[in-house]
Structure 1
Amino acid sequence: MQPAETIYIDEDTVGCDGGGGALGHPLVYLTLSPKGSVDCPYCGRHYVQTEAGKAAGGGHGH
Protein backbone atom coordinates (compact mmCIF):
# COMPACT_ATOMS: atom_id res chain seq x y z
CA MET A 1 0.00 0.00 0.00
CA GLN A 2 1.31 3.45 -0.92
CA PRO A 3 1.80 6.07 1.80
CA ALA A 4 -0.84 8.78 1.93
CA GLU A 5 -0.18 11.87 -0.16
CA THR A 6 0.54 15.07 1.79
CA ILE A 7 -0.97 18.26 0.36
CA TYR A 8 -0.09 21.72 1.67
CA ILE A 9 -2.90 24.30 1.69
CA ASP A 10 -3.41 27.90 2.83
CA GLU A 11 -7.03 27.45 3.96
CA ASP A 12 -8.46 25.88 7.12
CA THR A 13 -11.13 23.96 5.17
CA VAL A 14 -10.51 21.74 2.15
CA GLY A 15 -12.69 19.81 -0.29
CA CYS A 16 -11.36 16.35 -1.17
CA ASP A 17 -12.66 14.11 -3.95
CA GLY A 18 -9.75 11.69 -4.02
CA GLY A 19 -8.47 13.13 -7.27
CA GLY A 20 -11.68 12.63 -9.24
CA GLY A 21 -12.20 10.22 -12.06
CA ALA A 22 -12.82 6.52 -11.59
CA LEU A 23 -10.46 6.36 -8.62
CA GLY A 24 -12.04 9.28 -6.76
CA HIS A 25 -14.68 9.35 -4.02
CA PRO A 26 -17.61 11.62 -3.09
CA LEU A 27 -16.60 15.22 -2.42
CA VAL A 28 -16.18 15.82 1.30
CA TYR A 29 -15.27 19.06 3.06
CA LEU A 30 -12.75 18.70 5.86
CA THR A 31 -11.88 21.23 8.57
CA LEU A 32 -8.29 21.24 9.74
CA SER A 33 -7.62 20.54 13.40
CA PRO A 34 -6.20 23.27 15.67
CA LYS A 35 -2.77 21.77 14.88
CA GLY A 36 -3.35 22.62 11.21
CA SER A 37 -3.86 19.20 9.63
CA VAL A 38 -6.53 16.67 8.70
CA ASP A 39 -6.69 13.26 6.99
CA CYS A 40 -9.39 12.37 4.47
CA PRO A 41 -11.43 9.44 5.80
CA TYR A 42 -11.91 8.07 2.26
CA CYS A 43 -8.50 8.22 0.60
CA GLY A 44 -6.15 9.05 3.46
CA ARG A 45 -4.74 12.20 1.88
CA HIS A 46 -3.03 14.27 4.57
CA TYR A 47 -3.74 18.01 4.36
CA VAL A 48 -1.40 20.39 6.18
CA GLN A 49 -1.86 24.14 6.52
CA THR A 50 1.14 26.21 5.43
CA GLU A 51 2.72 28.78 7.69
CA ALA A 52 1.34 31.48 5.38
CA GLY A 53 -2.17 30.10 5.88
CA LYS A 54 -1.76 30.06 9.65
CA ALA A 55 -0.46 33.64 9.64
CA ALA A 56 -3.44 34.77 7.56
CA GLY A 57 -5.89 33.27 10.01
CA GLY A 58 -6.65 30.19 7.95
CA GLY A 59 -6.88 31.95 4.63
CA HIS A 60 -10.15 33.74 5.41
CA GLY A 61 -8.60 37.19 5.80
CA HIS A 62 -9.07 37.32 9.59
Structure 2
Amino acid sequence: MQPTETIQVETETVGCDGGGGALGHPMVYLTLTAGGHVDCPYCGRHFVLKEGAKTSHGH
Protein backbone atom coordinates (compact mmCIF):
# COMPACT_ATOMS: atom_id res chain seq x y z
CA MET A 1 0.00 0.00 0.00
CA GLN A 2 1.29 3.44 -0.94
CA PRO A 3 1.71 6.03 1.84
CA THR A 4 -0.93 8.76 1.94
CA GLU A 5 0.06 11.86 -0.02
CA THR A 6 0.28 15.10 1.99
CA ILE A 7 -0.46 18.31 0.11
CA GLN A 8 0.24 21.77 1.54
CA VAL A 9 -2.42 24.35 0.66
CA GLU A 10 -2.93 28.07 1.20
CA THR A 11 -6.74 28.16 1.23
CA GLU A 12 -9.26 26.72 3.67
CA THR A 13 -11.28 25.06 0.88
CA VAL A 14 -9.61 22.52 -1.40
CA GLY A 15 -10.78 20.41 -4.32
CA CYS A 16 -9.64 16.81 -4.76
CA ASP A 17 -10.19 14.50 -7.74
CA GLY A 18 -7.66 11.87 -6.77
CA GLY A 19 -5.10 13.28 -9.20
CA GLY A 20 -5.42 10.30 -11.51
CA GLY A 21 -7.28 11.91 -14.40
CA ALA A 22 -9.85 9.41 -15.64
CA LEU A 23 -8.61 6.96 -12.99
CA GLY A 24 -9.20 9.38 -10.11
CA HIS A 25 -12.53 9.96 -8.35
CA PRO A 26 -15.34 12.54 -8.55
CA MET A 27 -14.27 16.07 -7.63
CA VAL A 28 -15.04 16.82 -3.99
CA TYR A 29 -14.56 20.10 -2.18
CA LEU A 30 -13.30 19.89 1.38
CA THR A 31 -12.97 22.52 4.11
CA LEU A 32 -9.99 22.45 6.42
CA THR A 33 -10.74 21.97 10.11
CA ALA A 34 -9.88 24.64 12.66
CA GLY A 35 -6.66 22.65 13.15
CA GLY A 36 -5.70 23.32 9.52
CA HIS A 37 -6.08 19.88 7.94
CA VAL A 38 -8.54 17.56 6.19
CA ASP A 39 -8.41 14.09 4.59
CA CYS A 40 -10.15 13.18 1.34
CA PRO A 41 -12.77 10.50 2.04
CA TYR A 42 -12.18 8.91 -1.40
CA CYS A 43 -8.41 8.65 -1.76
CA GLY A 44 -7.05 9.57 1.67
CA ARG A 45 -4.94 12.52 0.49
CA HIS A 46 -4.05 14.63 3.51
CA PHE A 47 -4.35 18.40 2.99
CA VAL A 48 -2.60 20.69 5.47
CA LEU A 49 -2.47 24.45 5.72
CA LYS A 50 0.92 25.75 4.64
CA GLU A 51 2.88 27.35 7.47
CA GLY A 52 2.18 31.08 7.60
CA ALA A 53 -1.00 30.90 5.50
CA LYS A 54 -4.11 32.43 7.03
CA THR A 55 -7.71 31.28 6.79
CA SER A 56 -10.90 33.18 7.48
CA HIS A 57 -12.29 30.73 10.07
CA GLY A 58 -14.59 32.60 12.40
CA HIS A 59 -15.12 35.51 10.00
Percent sequence identity over aligned pairs: 68
Taking structure 2 as the reference length, what is the TM-score of the superposition? 0.85
Report how many residues are paired.
57
**Structure with greater helix share of residues:** 1
Give the superposition deviation at 1:21: 1.5
Moved over 2 A (4+): none
Calculate the aligned-residue CA RMSD, in Å.
1.6
Taking structure 1 as the reference length, what is the TM-score of the superposition? 0.82
Unaligned regions of 5+ residues in structure 1, if any?
none
Unaligned regions of 5+ residues in structure 2, if any?
none
After superposition, give the CA deviation of every residue in 1:5-60 in whole Å (9 maximum; x if it has no partner).
Answer: 00000000100000042321000000000000000000000000012213xxx27x
